[in-house]
Amino acid sequence: MSIRDRLQRWGENNTNVPEQVLIMEDSITQLEKSSYHELKSKIHQKLLDRVDLSVMERLPSDRLMNEIKDLVEQLLNEEKIPINLAERGGLVSDIQHEILGLGPLEPLLADPTISDILVNTYNQVYVERRGRLELTDAHFADNRHLMRIIDRIVSRIGRRVDESSPMVDARLSDGSRVNAIIPPLALDGPLLSIRRFPAAPLKMDDLVRYKSLTPSMAEVIAGLVKSKCNILISGGTGSGKTTLLNIMSGFIPASERVVTIEDAAELQLQQPHVVRLETRPPNVEGKGEVAQRALVRNSLRMRPDRVIIGEVRGPEAMDMLQAMNTGHEGSMATVHANTPRDALSRIENMVSMAEMNLPAKAVRQQISSAIWVVVQVSRMTDGKRKLISIQEITGMEGDIITMQEIFTYSQTGVDENGVIQGHFHATGIRPKFAERLKVFGIPLRDELFDPGKIFQ
């Protein structure tokens, strides 16, 4: 009988378990984990020594999984390792993940409730579920093991990460966004962040059901997209900007040609006529980089009806404004900012990066004529995402861009469980864009803007 079995039997007959016994049992758990990883590494290495993976990878995935399973079973029998069926099955599955997938991350990627996976060096993996961070039991054997997984991710899309290029943005086959940063920039070891997106893209009705916005706000946003108003989506990191952009793009008519431009492709547009462009980092010699600005310029020669930029973060802001002002109406983009006013200031600062030497007033006039609406999204302290403001740009007064808020979310407090309390409501202002929507056959009812209607 093992030590663990003896402790368990002793505990069944004694209700008061001394703290020393609990510490001993935890130590045994750590020892068992260590032994398991040693066994897995041993079998994995023997498998690599015995087979040519480059040949095996030509097999269909189902057959390859079965071949690996049979080989692992054979090695376990040859080594005469005494493990039960559950442990044997877990070992086979883990080695399959090591060879074909992303190792310890595979079970997390298979969990649909997880939205973010955050690897803080090899022995600490956090996930986000329903807006809350949780520490998991998953971990890598060491930092070299984690580096192998990072290399596997980035090499699949033709990118690299090493000491000369220690930061990389990449994506998984399902569209999940990946960021990795390694030593010498990461002091304690490699760091990996994976931002996941739902397998089934969310719809506007889902956001209404989750109380991220109201039916009135959803109706107005749908009308703005259909009537080809230029829209800027603003928000902080993890606030849901890309998710909202995906949902809003669902209202673009199927007859239109859409060109998307991203640093790491993650948009999941459902239209039949979508052309996707992605930036390219410099190669080992520091050459061959293709930035977003070059893609925005090139996209204008591709006869787009709309241009969608995943995130504006540099001098491409100038080309985006010019596109919006020269016939590519209905274009959309996202930007990192805490308020709609801050979003416009950031766009102005990014235009200055284009080195056009334009006076501030001229830049603001470009912004005020190009962008119709700024939609602000926020990740609340309880982890929920909400559309907290829809503001219309109405023009210029002197050197200042004028805006008016159409819908807002007012936070009133926090309950005993940390859940945000508040409500959505209209401000009572009927927007100027209502006339444009009417021309497009999308009349907006007066009750949509009734400030007396409160949505919890």
In this structure, what CATH number is given to the domain that contains residue 158? Answer: 3.30.450.370
Report the C-alpha gap between 171 and 154 in whole angstroms. 8
46 and 173 housed in the same domain = no
User: What SS3 state is found at 46?
Assistant: helix
Q: Which of 32-46, 201-215, 291-305, 376-390 has the lowest mean pLDDT?
A: 32-46
Report the C-alpha gap between 104 and 110 in whole angstroms. 11
Answer yes or no: is pLDDT of 268 > 70.
yes
For residue 141 the two structure tokens come to 């054997």
Query: What mean pLDDT comes out for the span 418-438?
Result: 93
CATH number at residue 409: 3.40.50.300
Report the C-alpha gap between 281 and 372 in whole angstroms. 32
172 and 313 housed in the same domain = no
Residue 360 burial class via C-beta count within 10 angstroms: exposed 0-12, middle 13-18, buried 19 and up: exposed
Residue 3: predicted pLDDT: 41
Q: Considering the chain, what is the average pLDDT of its residues?
A: 84
Interacting residues of 105 by C-beta distance below 8 A, sequence separation 6+ = 117, 119, 125, 138, 149, 194
Report the C-alpha gap between 123 and 437 in whole angstroms. 54
Report the C-alpha gap between 454 and 456 in whole angstroms. 6
52 and 152 housed in the same domain = no
Answer yes or no: is pLDDT of 327 > 90.
no
Question: At how many degrees (to 10) do helices 316-325 and 340-352 cross?
Answer: 110
Sheet holding 231-235, edge to edge: 274-278, 258-262, 306-309, 332-336, 231-235, 373-379, 385-397, 400-414, 420-426, 454-455
Phi-psi region of 252 (alpha: psi -120 to 50; beta: other; left: phi over 0): beta
303 and 402 housed in the same domain = yes
Q: How confident is the model at residue 125 (pLDDT cuts 50, 70, 90)?
A: very high
273 and 418 housed in the same domain = yes
User: What SS3 state is found at 228?
Assistant: coil
DSSP state of 290: B
Interacting residues of 348 by C-beta distance below 8 A, sequence separation 6+ = 360, 363, 364, 367
Sheet holding 125-129, edge to edge: 132-135, 125-129, 114-120, 191-195, 177-181, 167-171
Task: Choose one of 196, 231, 251: the last residue of a domain.
Answer: 196
Is beta strand 420-426 parallel, antiparallel or unpaired with respect to 400-414? Answer: antiparallel
Residue 348 burial class via C-beta count within 10 angstroms: exposed 0-12, middle 13-18, buried 19 and up: middle
239 and 115 housed in the same domain = no
For residue 63, give Cα distances in angstroms to 54, 94, 262, 347.
15, 17, 36, 52
Strand ranges in 166-298 using DSSP code E only, listed in sequence order:
167-171, 177-181, 191-195, 231-235, 258-262, 274-278
94 and 119 housed in the same domain = no
Q: Which residues are bridge partners to 278 per DSSP?
A: 262
- Domain extent at residue 186: 102-196
Task: Choose one of 54, 83, 100: the last residue of a domain.
Answer: 100
191 and 238 housed in the same domain = no
Residue 225: predicted pLDDT: 96
17 and 127 housed in the same domain = no
132-188 pLDDT tens trace: 899 998 888 889 889 988 988 888 877 788 888 899 888 887 778 899 999 999 999
Angle made by CA atoms 206, 208, 211, in degrees to the nearest 5 = 110
50-94 pLDDT tens trace: 666 555 556 666 776 777 777 777 777 777 766 777 777 777 777
242 and 254 housed in the same domain = yes
126 and 264 housed in the same domain = no
Report the C-alpha gap between 78 and 69 in whole angstroms. 14
For residue 327 the two structure tokens come to 């016939």
One-letter amino acid at 20 equals Q
Tally of domains in the chain: 3
User: What SS3 state is found at 141?
Assistant: coil
Answer yes or no: is pLDDT of 33 > 80.
no
For residue 293 the two structure tokens come to 């600005």
322 and 347 housed in the same domain = yes
Highest mean pLDDT among 43-52, 90-99, 236-245: 236-245
Task: Choose one of 196, 219, 240: the last residue of a domain.
Answer: 196
Answer yes or no: is pLDDT of 30 > 50.
no
328-376 pLDDT tens trace: 899 999 999 999 999 999 999 999 998 888 899 999 999 999 999 999 9
